[in-house]
Structures are given as C-alpha cells and as structure tokens.
Structure 1
Amino acid sequence: MIPGEKKRRSATEKRWLLRELLQRKSLTVMPGGFSPLYARVAEEAGFETFFLAGSQLSAFLYGVPDSGIIGLRDLVDHARHMAARTNIPIFIDADTGFGNAVNVHYAVTECIHAGVAGVQIEDQESPKKSGISSGRRCITIEEAVGKYRAAISARDALDPSFVICARTDALGAENSSFEEALDRCIAYVQEGGVDFIWLNSVQTREQLARACKEIPAPVLTIWGGAQPAPTLEEYEQLGVRIALYPTLAASSGLQAAWHVLHDFRSRGTEALLKWGQSIENSPFGRAHLDHLTGAAEVRELEELYLPESVKRNYESTWGHKDMLASVLQELQKTHHESNSS
C-alpha cells in the first residue's frame, strides 16, 4: 500500500459488510447507476453501498433498452471495475441470470470472481423486460426456486459470504397479483434459500408493511405506487431494510447533460457561465475528477518505484489541471469585465 492510501477492503470484507447492512434494524439507502465513477461519488457522499443497474448498463454502454440485450460478459467486466475502484459493497443486477438454472450457476460463479458483494436475479421469463415497464411475464414459482437453489449452490462452493437476492417482478406482470408476489417471496426464502428479497414496484404502504412482516428475510423495495412515495422515515417504519433508488446517479447525470448541451447549443458560452455559477453556488462544491479517479496515486507510485533517469519532469512541463474550471473562470472574468465597463 502506498503512503497515505486508504486501506482497501477485500471482496469478502465487503460481502460481510453488505450482510451487516441487511441485519440492521434500521433502513439503508442504496443509490444506483452504472459506472465506477458514480459509485465513487456515492462513496464520497457517505452512502454505504451502491447498485449497478442493468437498465443503466444497457443504456449508457450500448444505448439500448432494458430488454435482456446485454450479456453476462458485459455485466461482469463492468462490475469488476466498479468493485476494484470502490471501498463499499457493490450490489449488481444480473437480470434473469441469463437463462435457466444452469446459466444461473455459471452467472453467479462469474459474479463472485468479479469481486462484487452480491447479486439480484429476477423471476421474469426470458427475454426480460424492464422491471418498471409493461409486458412482463414471470416463470413458474417452481422454476424460479430451482434457479435460486442453483445460485446458492454456486455461491456456497466459492464464497459463502457472497449475497444472493431474489427479485420478484410479479407485481404488474401477466396474470399475477400481490398475493402471488407474496407467495413467491416466501418460497424464494424458504425453498430457494436466498438471503433477501427484492419486492419490485410495490403499490401501497399497506402491502409493503404486510410483505415486510410476512417475508422471513430482509426486504428491499422500489416504489411503484402513487406519488408521493414513502419518505425514508416511512420506509423504516414499514419494515423495509433497503430503499433502493436504482438509477439515481445515472439519471441525474443524464438530465444534467441534456440540459447543458441544449442550453449551450441555444445560448453559447452564456450557458456555460450560468452552469458554472450554479456549480460554484452548490453547497457541496465541485466534483473533482482527479480526486475521484485517484490521480495522485500515479505521482506517488512514480516517486516510489521509478528510477531517477525515467521520472517525468513536472516542473518545466504543464497541462490543463481542470479544463472545465479554467473555461468557466475565464468566462466569469470576461462577463465581470463587460459588466464593469
């Protein structure tokens, strides 16, 4: 470990940390997105865990909808980078496990090798649909239980600390109901052996309270009912263990890019000036890419291990430390001078 570097948790340590979060009686809030950088931002903001959403992986890496288009290799390669660059547990979306129970066995094996803390596998029929869209169909409870048992078996053979979550998408699916969704959740714990349940798109507070009482495992949820959604305090009172906001980081970043690019196209540098002012006025300051990506470690490694003859000359060379900040500062200076004249 280089001097000053934060001690990195091992994959197993992060898995046990996720298990500890699940055993708390209090609520854990889990934001989500798709990239190592967003996961680092969440860690810096103080969140204890982060979710890799399949919908965002599909959208941001390939520009395609969440319809089962991405594969196992896409997922685990990306997840590996997220786990390697963060010190908090990464929980990932493995869709349907990319096939039947046989595929699930190998998918879980690969996810464990990727270094993440846990995985969710949903009970949809392949090819899946987005968990928040219409057109969903679920496989039988019996087939789903078999898939979860295969996941547990693969997990136990490699690292029993790895966390397996069963997600039911029965709410809103063809020929389904809340009662069936509840039956599925109970079976996935009692017969499938999963560690916790993701009850997707729950519709009412009453349903959520009942689910948390009757399901014999911790419950994660995202809200699918009428607005306003429960507050974090309400979620905790209802018995929810994890409140998931699966696309929060990525969707907010997308909306910011949508706004700034349209505004820049419309108003030119005036738009950048206004955006820069909003950043300066933020109570949380600017996001510094060098810090989030660990750029200082490169200099430390060079200083420690490179011979003097090949070390880089940082004194007589120069670069743009923060191109965006420089542009915004110059625009603000120009704007101030024009207003003063």
Structure 2
Amino acid sequence: MNPTAVVSSRSYTYTYTYNPSLSFHTSPPHSPLSAFTFRLPFQPSLNTPLINPIHKSHTRFSKVCAAERYYGLSESPAKALRRVLELPGLHQGPACFDALSAKLVERAGFQYCFTSGFSISAARLGLPDTGFISSGEMVDQGQQITQAVSIPVIGDGDTGYGNAMNVKRTVKGYIRAGFAGIILEDQQSACHPVCYYSQLDSLCRISLTGTLGSHHAICKFTPLRLLLLINFHCKVSPKACGHTQGRKVVSREEAVMRIKAAIDARKESGSDIVIVARTDSRQAVSLDESLWRSRAFADVGADVLFIDALASKEEMKAFCEISPLVPKMANMLEGGGKTPILNPLELEDLGYKLVAYPLSLIGVSIQAMQDSLTAIKGGRIPPPGSMPSFEEIKEILGFNTYYEEEKRYATSTNQPSSQRVSSSRYSIQQRVQDYTEQRGRSPQDPIVEVITPDVYDNYGADGSRDPFSQIWSRTLRIKITGRDGFEKLDVRIPAGFLDGITNIIPALGGVNIKELLDDAADEVGGKLLLDFSDTMGDRIQVFLE
C-alpha cells in the first residue's frame, strides 16, 4: 500500500498514489515552496482517484438548486426527506447500490432509500468495505443513483474521508450529487499528523508527527524537475464495517468537530441536506460512550442520530430515550449482525423514526446470480418464475416510457423506435385488413385456420406417409427433480414443438428427441422417453403422453 503526495503549481501537478486526507500550505512567502500546495493523504486506499478540491465559485442559488435540477421537482431532495421525517410512524429505507436497485426501491413504493458503502464497494469494486473505495467513486455512484429516481436518497458518507476540512468537502460533493442526506461516522479513517517545516537552502524538510507514528518528506526543486522523497512510518487502521472486527473511533472532540464541519458545509452551500450522525463507539468503546457522543452530536445540530451495532433491545431503548426531539435511525443488518432484528412495529414502539436494511438487495442479488450460474452450468436456464419476463424488464427500465416520449419528436424522416420495431407486424395486419374488407368481413372478425390431426396422421408435409406426423396429437411432459427430492419443474408441451424443449432445458439439445418419438409414435398411452441426471445431480425425465 503506497502513500500519496500531490504537489501542484500553476503549470505542473505531481501525483503519488493515495487518497486525500490532509492539506497544508507552506509559508513564509519567501520559502522556495511558496508557489506550491502540498497534499499528503493517509486514507488507506489502492489507486483511488482524486478529485480536484478547488472548485470555481458558484452562486448560492445555483448550489441550492443543483439537486433540484436532477429531480425536476419544485422542492429539493433534502426538503422531501425532511417531510418524511415529519410524518408519523417508522419509515423503512432499503439500501441500494446502483441506479437499477434504486429504481426498484422506488417502484416498490418506498418513500426514500439509502446508499450502502458496503454494497457499493461490493458491486462496483468487488472488494470488501475496508477503505478501498474512494470519496470520488462514492460521489460518482451516488450521482447515478439520485438521477435515476425521484425519491430522496441518504448517502453513506463514511468517515468524511479525512479530517474536518475533508468532511466539509465530502458534504459539499454529496450535495452537488443530489443526495437528500448524508451519514457521517466517527471511525478512524487514518492517522492525522501535525505538520511543520524548516527551510534548508534549496531543500525543504517537512516533518509530520502524529499519535500513530512519524513521517518525513524532503523536496528539492529545479526549474525542470521535482524530486520528492517520502518516508512514511504510519500504522493506519483502515475503516471497517460497523459489524465487523477492528473498529476504532476518533476522540470525542474530533467526532463532534466532524459533525460541526458538516453543518458548516451545509450552511456555506445554501443547502438543507440532512446530517445523520453515526457513532461506532458502542462496539469500539462502550454503550455509555456511544450515548454521550449521540447527545453531543444532537447538541451541535445533527438532524438524525444513529448508534451502530447496539447489542440488545434494552440498549436500543436507552438510545431512543436520549435527545427525544431528534429522530433516531436503526440498522437491521440482515443475516446476523450485533443488533437484534426487530419488525417495524417493535422499532416504532422503541422510538425509532428511520430504519435501514443494508444487505437485502445486494444479498438476494448475489444469491440469484449464483443460482442462475449454477443452472446454466448444469445445462439449464433459470426457471420462468425466478426472473421477470423480457417485457417486464423493458417496463422496469423505461422502454415504454421512452417510446411514448419519442413520439413527441417524431418526423416523417425520423420514425420512432417503437414504430420501427412493429412496422413489419403492422404491415401484415394491414394486409389482413385489406383482404377482409375485400371479402366483405369486418377486420375485427376472427380469422381461424383449422388443422385436423387426421391429415397429419397419414401424410407428411409433402403428401407422403410420415409416422412422425401423429406426434402432433401427443404431449411431452418434462419433469425435473432436485437432489433434495423437491420438484423444480413440471411442464407439458405439444410433442411436435421439439425446438421448445431445448429452450426449457438446454441439456436436451444433444439428444435426438425426434428419433425417440418416431420409435414411440405408434404406442398407445404414456411412455418414459428419457430418465437421467445432469451434472448438478438433478433428475430429468421426459414422458410422451
């Protein structure tokens, strides 16, 4: 793991891998470093992208309306979330991890949702939530999410990605991304050194000292070349998920300063983003410590309080009794965390206002993908009930809405997509209509073609006798039984539609079903044509009825 230093002037920027956590400027003005700004970050991350912390000035009005432009609403996402907080009862918020999962949350009727750093790290990087993902990646993912939905979204702001100044920058970035709220926690994100320098002729020595170690950098400048030598001796504990091992929290004073910095950033941006103050000190220190910190967060102006990993219903009750005017948030970690899983009525009785479900969507997605891959590897496709139809998928993604809106801008030379897709079908229907009108029938009258099985009992398509033609009056039954003895599939299809069999069970693609049917064509009653187990141990049976 390599630290990063970024040295920038008006003409050059030198970047050495790491994530921003600390900024400082050299002084006095006559120092050989006076034209440069140093950034020596300590957030544990691997090749995380940096975002330019210097932004052009914006008017207060543009900052307030930035999120509103994303939503197309008369009120900002933060105001919409505050309306939810004012409503009576408990409000459930599943945690999404991308635009599609957020759209599904909205379609399900939820009033708001969360983003989960755990889930985003898993879905975007395929890595654990141990500090790998950067603030820039979280903001980028968040912007994709907030633009996809009209409900307010509360973003996982992690530790704010550094000290109080970094917290301010993170909050402003989340505001610009369209978030309605941000969760900020008091875990240690990295070491926080104190910096000083001394001028030595053409060299500048920068020494950084902190509670976790010491760090030294020597910089030499020439007109065309910059040599940066860094020697770091810093034992950094990466940020951890609240229900995993290795949590460490910052001091009380620094924890409170993070929330104060977030509130100041909100004021400076002219925003009303909801600040959710989280403490991980219950598991890192004690229950009393977490209650003390929550009270302090409320005193400096946090909008919602959240203690992660409370260990019992009694602890949850004690939490809800402090600062009664400030809403409380619960975290129901599915699958087994420190906190007991309670239903919404129980949480409301304790005094909670918001509840997050962080793993439901990413968890069932992982399981569904694993099941589908197992089926495909075994020569099958996922059963029809395990996934939506193609039409349902298109509806979820907005194809039909797109087609309707596209019609507003259609021209004679620019035919809408929906019309192009259905043009061949329309031309066939038009020919049928012309024919029926010539015959004196209404276009609505049904056109029925009758094919009698007797024709195929004796003759094939070319007029010759064909024993296989009798199969059209028979039915194939396909049955799949799992290794556990439970029935997975039991369907019946016309025996003549052999292509349909492989669409259901690709493993039958290499079997000559027609030959088996030829042999059984003259038999009366049912017959077992196939009985075998596939590579996954499932029993596949094919009957002729």
- Short-chain TM bin: 0.7 to 0.9
Aligned to 1:97: 160
**Cα deviation, residue 255, structure 1:** 1.2
Q: Check conservation: 1:92, 1:120, Cα contact below 8 A.
A: yes
Aligned to 1:116: 179
**Structure 2 segments unaligned to the other structure (5+ residues):** 1-70, 190-237, 426-499, 509-529, 531-540
Provide closer, same or farther for how the CA distance between residues 34 and 287 of structure 1 changes in structure 2, counting only shifts above 3 A: farther
Aligned to 2:414: 310
223, 238, 247: which one aligns with 2:350:
238
323, 327, 331: which one aligns with 2:504:
331
**Cα deviation, residue 226, structure 1:** 6.5
Provide Cα deviations, 1:209-240, integer angstroms capped at 9, x if missing partner: 1111113411101244465x222111110001
Provide closer, same or farther for how the CA distance between residues 141 and 263 of structure 1 changes in structure 2, counting only shifts above 3 A: same
Aligned to 2:267: 156
Aligned to 2:328: 219
Provide closer, same or farther for how the CA distance between residues 339 and 56 of structure 1 changes in structure 2, counting only shifts above 3 A: same
Amino acid at match of 1:255: Q
Provide closer, same or farther for how the CA distance between residues 11 and 207 of structure 1 changes in structure 2, counting only shifts above 3 A: farther
Aligned to 1:5: none
Distance 1:330 1:262 in 2: 17
Aligned to 1:73: 136
Counterpart check, 1:181 vs 2:290: yes
Distance 2:387 2:125 in 1: 29
399, 406, 417: which one aligns with 1:295:
399
84, 104, 108: which one aligns with 1:21:
84
Aligned residue for 1:149, secondary structure, equals helix
Aligned residue for 1:91, secondary structure, equals strand
Percent sequence identity is: 30
Aligned residue for 2:183, secondary structure, equals strand
**Cα deviation, residue 121, structure 1:** 0.8
231-240 or 292-301, which moves further after superposition? 292-301
Provide Cα deviations, 1:21-59, integer angstroms capped at 9, x if missing partner: 223341111111301111111111111111110111111
Aligned to 1:45: 108
**Cα deviation, residue 170, structure 1:** 1.0
**Cα deviation, residue 289, structure 1:** 2.4
249-258 or 296-305, which moves further after superposition? 296-305
Provide closer, same or farther for how the CA distance between residues 75 and 251 of structure 1 changes in structure 2, counting only shifts above 3 A: same
Alignment TM-score, normalising by the size of structure 1: 0.84
Q: Bigger relative contact order, structure 1 or 2, given CA contacts below 8 A and separation 6+?
A: 1
Distance 2:385 2:543 in 1: 16
Distance 2:342 2:352 in 1: 11
Provide closer, same or farther for how the CA distance between residues 13 and 330 of structure 1 changes in structure 2, counting only shifts above 3 A: same
**Cα deviation, residue 135, structure 1:** 0.3
**Cα deviation, residue 157, structure 1:** 2.2
Aligned residue for 1:203, secondary structure, equals coil
**Cα deviation, residue 328, structure 1:** 10
231, 252, 268: which one aligns with 2:379:
268
Distance 1:233 1:144 in 2: 32
**Cα deviation, residue 340, structure 1:** 4.3
297, 310, 315: which one aligns with 1:207:
315
Distance 1:106 1:303 in 2: 43
Q: Check conservation: 2:281, 2:289, Cα contact below 8 A.
A: yes
306, 309, 315: which one aligns with 1:198:
306
Distance 2:169 2:264 in 1: 11
**Cα deviation, residue 268, structure 1:** 1.7
Q: Check conservation: 2:112, 2:152, Cα contact below 8 A.
A: yes
Amino acid at match of 1:300: E
Provide Cα deviations, 1:156-182, integer angstroms capped at 9, x if missing partner: 222442111111111211xx1000000
Amino acid at match of 2:294: C
Provide Cα deviations, 1:249-292, integer angstroms capped at 9, x if missing partner: 11111111112212332x321xx35x324458xxxx99932222
Counterpart check, 1:256 vs 2:368: yes
Q: Check conservation: 1:202, 1:222, Cα contact below 8 A.
A: no
Aligned to 2:249: 138
Amino acid at match of 2:188: E
Distance 2:130 2:286 in 1: 23
Distance 1:317 1:62 in 2: 44
13-22 or 177-186, which moves further after superposition? 13-22
Distance 1:82 1:233 in 2: 29
Distance 2:178 2:338 in 1: 34
Provide Cα deviations, 1:75-96, integer angstroms capped at 9, x if missing partner: 1111111111111111110110
Aligned to 1:167: 278
Provide closer, same or farther for how the CA distance between residues 47 and 328 of structure 1 changes in structure 2, counting only shifts above 3 A: farther
Counterpart check, 1:31 vs 2:204: no
Aligned to 2:196: none
Q: Check conservation: 1:15, 1:163, Cα contact below 8 A.
A: yes
Aligned residue for 2:413, secondary structure, equals helix
Root mean square deviation of aligned Cα: 2.9
Distance 1:77 1:101 in 2: 22
Distance 1:75 1:304 in 2: 36
**Structure 1 segments unaligned to the other structure (5+ residues):** 1-7, 319-326
148, 166, 180: which one aligns with 1:85:
148
Distance 1:135 1:101 in 2: 23
More helix by share: 1
Provide closer, same or farther for how the CA distance between residues 124 and 230 of structure 1 changes in structure 2, counting only shifts above 3 A: same
Provide Cα deviations, 1:302-329, integer angstroms capped at 9, x if missing partner: 32224321335333479xxxxxxxx999
Amino acid at match of 1:155: R
Amino acid at match of 1:139: V
